[in-house]
Structure 1
Amino acid sequence: MAKTLQQHFHLGGFALEASLSSAFLGQALGSILLGRLADRYGRKPAFVVNLLIYSL
Structure 2
Amino acid sequence: MDLLQEYSANFILLITDTAIVWRAWALWAENRLINWTLLIILLADIGISIAHSVF
Q: TM-score, normalised by structure 1?
A: 0.54
Q: 2-side partners of 1:12 and 1:35: how far apart? A: 35
Larger Rg: 1
Q: 1:14 to 1:37 in 2, by over 3 A?
A: same
Moved over 6 A (4+): none
Mapped to 2, the partners of 1:22 and 1:13 lie a distance apart of 14
User: Structure 1: any 5+ residue segments left out of the alignment?
Assistant: 1-10
Q: CA deviation at 1:51?
A: 4.3
Q: CA RMSD in A?
A: 2.5
Q: TM-score, normalised by structure 2?
A: 0.54
C-alpha deviation, 1:34, in angstroms: 2.1
Gaps (5+ residues) in structure 2?
46-55
In 2, the alpha carbon distance for the partners of 1:20 and 1:36 equals 25
SS in structure 2 of the partner of residue 48 of structure 1? helix
Higher-RCO chain (CA-CA 8 Å, sequence separation at least 6)? 2
